[in-house]
A and B are shown apart, each in its own frame.
Chain A
Amino acid sequence: MMLARPLHAAAAGIMAIALGLAWNASAQMLGDTRKHDSKRGAVIAAQGTAAGAPACAECHAFNGTSDGSGAFPRIAGQSAYYLAKQMHDFTSNVRVSAVMSPIAKALTPDDIADAAAYYAGVNAPFLPLRNSDPALIKRGEELAKVGSASDAIQACDNCHGPGGAGESPAIPYLAGQYAPYIVFELQMWQRGFRKSSPEAMAAVAKRLNDQEIAAVAAYYQQVPGSAKAKTSD
């Protein structure tokens, strides 16, 4: 066992690099033996922390559906790994947001892990939203499922899973995600403000034009059913 432990730690680190994703947080998480406390996470979500971080629920709602405006992403049922990774990216300025960056910096790694564990476990309903133009949705579905030959864009679902259900833990679901949020994030990648996943998402985002971005966003927002329902069958 004395020999096995360090080798195991090395395994996690090396394989993480091999996946080709920015996975530093994963190695930390795998090396971390503390069990995440989703009850404590629920308290952070509802009340914030004594150190001054506001309650997550102020924008994301206690059930993670946010408010439907699309200014804030839906985070209910998103993988804990992914949520925690984003928070660490806000802390390290790999992602930059005037709102989220200071909040993330006010949270401890344990706060982040617990809040992420809480929201990952929430099975929240989807808010009723007005659908976009059917032609736009159809174009978005094409891009999501097949890609674009002329722009050399692969299908979003290749990585984000059938119907955008996500490929947990590293790849977030898009099914039911708010269209304005998807649009905004793709633009952040295009313009170089979001530096996570530079080798995959930045490259894809730069190939998409404004219409295509609007189309994929419109499509994923209205994909019926929750990510959980999709992955459990």
Chain B
Amino acid sequence: MAQRLKPVDVVTIGVGLTGSLAALELAKTGLKVVGLERGAPRFTVPDFQSPAIHDELRFSIRKAMMQDNVKVPVTFRNNSDETALPIRRWESFLPGQGLGGAFVHWNGQSFRFQVADFIYKTHIEQRYGKTFLNACGPELTIQDWGVTYDELEPHFDRFEYLLGVCGKAGNIKGQIQPGGNPFEAPRAREYPNPPMKETYFGALFRKGVEQLGYHPYPQPSANLSRPYRNPEGLDLQQCVFCGFCERYACEHFAKASPQTVILPALLNRPNYELRTNCEVLRINLDSTRKKATGVTYVDGSGAEYEQPAELVLITAFPLNNVRMLLLSGIGEPYDPKTGTGVVGRNYTYQTTGGATVFMDESINVNPFMSSGAPGTMIDDFSGDNFDHSQLGFIGGQYIGSIMTNGRPIEFHPTPPGTPKWGLEWKRAVARHYNHTILVQQHGTSTASRLNYLDLDPSYKDAWGQPVLRMTFDFPENDIRMSQYVADKVVEIGRAMGGKIVVRGGTKRPYTTTQYQSTHNAGGAIMGSDPKTSVVNRYQQCWDVPNVFSLGASAFPQNGTYNYSVTIGALTYWALDAIKNKYLKAPGPLVQA
């Protein structure tokens, strides 16, 4: 029997990016906030210090910072005719676990989504006509977000200044800025910090794409180019290009994460309480099922508690937000046969890939000297930046030379035809290790009625609850798009001086055994109509107004870019509505 605890004002389920950010905003208003984190507490000092933090086997290969999938796995299948099986080893995507969540082991690649992304369906119909989308794929179910870029701009701005993002503006209030990305959405002001120094591989990429007439710009980075104090009064230091960013925590206070830019301002507040090693089982609803009364969770000793709360924020990894809604019976689960229901619908991912460019031996790339966001890149083929009318697909990808590391276990490029082991393999690795450049593609994932999340009928977690089941494959639209961009990447690789250029691009079937992206999105999407969305434009549940589901689970489909900064902006946007509207008059912020 669960022990009933003293009621609090707000509970967050998960203490990562959205959980810590939301807690800080609400704790500042004086509310009593409790953060429930299923993982362990951890801090830059002492937990992230070297040499232990640079253990490639432990963190990159054995995924020490990731969700414990012995206790809570995700099952996967490519389509609804297959039987889903548990993913026992994270490879394709890496959900974080522990204080700070995936925002600890992220790379710091810090983009804003574009204007058209937020009005995607409207935009595509206006530019290409009403029948174009159906021609690209009758299964595609793209939607508008219910919020516009202009509404989010101040929140993007605020979030970038919280992180100290380093970059060069390409468009300030409509004025194109030299050196920046001319395709970016207009921003109110320059980035808080100048871009990172350009790497050698970035300089070669720049030279290549300039020959081809494209528009290179420095990748915006939340690994810092100089020391910075953020508006919360917290200090970041300058990145030292150690080459251990993604899959690792930063030992140097140089990467924006909850530990560096949020938590120190939150944890010392007397009205905030962090409880780690606490697994939330469900959100409890009252008899009307229209109001949440709090959450039930199990602590590290196995004791069960009921924590009553006025406001419940689901702030877990996107996949876990969706699972929490399903476990709690909030919203109607999506039924792919009829197309009705909403929870689990429009699960999307990210299309990735890219070319491997083998250079002359005189080109010393030194990939080990790198940061998580060291790229030089172009947006000429991102989103809807190019004319799709004759192409038969929607969407696009950015192209960039973004080599985040040259770590010994993970990075040993060899050209096609090289044996997979033995002396010849070793010779090829020695020849190519320091003379190979990766050019990446990274882009949109189009929602399809065939792709969705639901509860697995067979597999249970360590607490006896159904695990999440993922049904996903890339729509043909996305394959056509990615293969189109792959051709451009090959041209770029040759222009860079590549002796051998190995073509990439996204392929079917989607596999969970190869790393692609941790930008899992959708499943609890936002919108203007409760029939096609789980949450309204403020990420408030249509069915239970005192529950908000924050984060990328709200994306109706995924845009071109790495999504963390857009999550941050959406979170500030939702918190602004909670503070200024909801708390004054609790109830639905949008009438259905």
Contacts and interface: CB of A to CB of B under 8 A. Distances in A.
Interface of A: 4-5, 7-8, 10-12, 14-15, 17-20, 145-149, 152-155, 157-159, 162, 199-200, 203-204
A148 B226 contact: no
Contacts of B349: none
Nearest to B46: A146
B374 interface: yes
Given A147-B45, A157-B50, A20 B238 contact: yes
B49 A153 contact: no
Contacts of B370: 18
A17 B227 contact: no
Contact of B44 (A17, A154, A157): A154
Nearest to A150: B45
B199 A14 contact: yes
B9 interface: no
Given A20-B239, A154-B49, A155-B50, A149 B43 contact: yes
20 contacts: A4-B360, A7-B362, A7-B363, A8-B362, A8-B364, A10-B200, A11-B366, A14-B200, A15-B364, A17-B197, A18-B369, A19-B369, A20-B197, A147-B44, A147-B46, A152-B45, A154-B237, A154-B253, A155-B45, A200-B237
B197 A11 contact: no
B241 interface: yes
A20 to B, nearest CB: 6
B506 to A, nearest CB: 30
A203 B362 contact: no
Given A12-B364, A155-B50, 17 more contacts: A8-B363, A11-B366, A14-B203, A15-B199, A15-B366, A19-B240, A20-B197, A147-B49, A148-B45, A149-B45, A152-B235, A154-B44, A154-B253, A155-B45, A155-B251, A157-B50, A199-B227
A200 B253 CA distance: 11
Interface of B: 43-46, 49-51, 197-200, 203, 226-227, 235, 237-241, 251-253, 264, 360, 362-364, 366, 369-370, 374
Contacts of A12: 364
Given A7-B363, A15-B366, A152-B235, A203 B46 contact: no
A18 B251 CA distance: 19
Contacts of B50: 155, 157-158
Given A147-B46, A200-B240, A18 B363 contact: no
A12 B434 CA distance: 13
Nearest to A157: B50
A4 B370 CA distance: 23
B364 A11 contact: yes
A208 to B, nearest CB: 14
Among A10, A20, A146, residue most surrounded by chain B Cβ atoms (within 10 Å): A20
B200 A154 contact: no
Contacts of B45: 146-149, 152-155
A17 B241 CA distance: 11
Contacts of A19: 240-241, 369
A154 B53 CA distance: 12
B252 A154 contact: yes
A155 B374 contact: no
A159 B51 contact: no
A149 B42 CA distance: 11
A203 to B, nearest CB: 5
Contacts of A17: 197-198
A18 B44 contact: no
Contacts of A203: 227, 237-238
Given A147-B46, A149-B46, A154-B253, A199 B226 contact: yes
Contacts of B238: 20, 199-200, 203
Contacts of A14: 198-200, 203
Nearest to B43: A149
A115 B542 CA distance: 75
A214 B264 CA distance: 27
A4 B360 CA distance: 9
Nearest to B264: A152
A157 B366 CA distance: 23
Contacts of A158: 49-50, 251-252
A39 B240 CA distance: 35
A18 B363 CA distance: 16
A92 to B, nearest CB: 21
A165 to B, nearest CB: 11
Nearest to B226: A199
Contacts of B46: 146-147, 149
Top 3 A-B residue pairs of the complex, sorted by shortest distance between their CB atoms: A4-B362, A147-B45, A199-B238
A204 B137 CA distance: 56
Contacts of B362: 4-5, 7-8
Nearest to A151: B45
B49 A18 contact: no
A167 to B, nearest CB: 10
A154 B253 CA distance: 7
B586 to A, nearest CB: 38
A203 B240 CA distance: 13
Contact of A152 (B226, B239, B240, B253): B253
Contacts of A204: 237
Contacts of A4: 360, 362
Contacts of B240: 19-20, 159, 200
A70 to B, nearest CB: 28
Contacts of A15: 199-200, 364, 366, 369
A153 B44 CA distance: 9
A101 to B, nearest CB: 27
Given A17-B197, A203-B238, A146 B49 contact: yes
B237 A18 contact: no
B44 A149 contact: yes
A158 B237 CA distance: 14
B554 to A, nearest CB: 33
A204 B45 CA distance: 14
Contacts of A8: 362-364
A162 B54 CA distance: 12
Contacts of A154: 44-45, 49, 237, 251-253
